[in-house]
Amino acid sequence: GDSVTQMEGPVTLSEEAFLTINCTYTATGYPSLFWYVQYPGEGLQLLLKATKADDKGSNKGFEATYRKETTSFHLEKGSVQVSDSAVYFCALIFGNEKLTFGTGTRLTIIP
């Protein structure tokens, strides 16, 4: 079945550091890919998305590129802030089937 594998956390970085959170997927076709973010005590927010190969999703300084060759959708940010501390979930979906989530990566940014 379809699955999402995320970089295990927790990840701790200093402010202004470069961030990469790895995400790879297994699927029989070409799903739509997402990154969701969950700030402390809150629900999930859609951070960015990509629907086809080579698409780049971006939002709030975060980027992720849909790489069909490596079945990856790694999340990156050039300079993280304390306010980026949260749990990040990679997810995929085919059409209107159910959303499949990765296990989540907890990110902590130290001032």
Q: Does 70 bind another protein (CB under 8 A)?
A: no
* CA–CA gap between residue 65 and residue 83 (Å, rounded): 23
Min dist CB 84 to another protein, Å, is: 19
Q: Does 73 bind another protein (CB under 8 A)?
A: no
**Tokens 């200093």, located at residue:** 14
Q: 54: which residues sit within 8 A by CB, 6+ positions away? A: 65, 66, 67, 68
Q: Which is nearer to another protein, 76 or 94 (CB)?
A: 94
Q: Which of 32, 58, 72, 85 binds another protein (CB under 8 A)?
A: 32
Q: Does 40 bind another protein (CB under 8 A)?
A: no
For residue 90, give Cα distances in angstroms to 7, 29, 38, 96: 10, 17, 11, 17
Q: Which residues bind another protein (CB under 8 A)?
A: 32, 34, 36, 41-46, 49, 51, 89, 93, 95-96, 98-99, 101-104
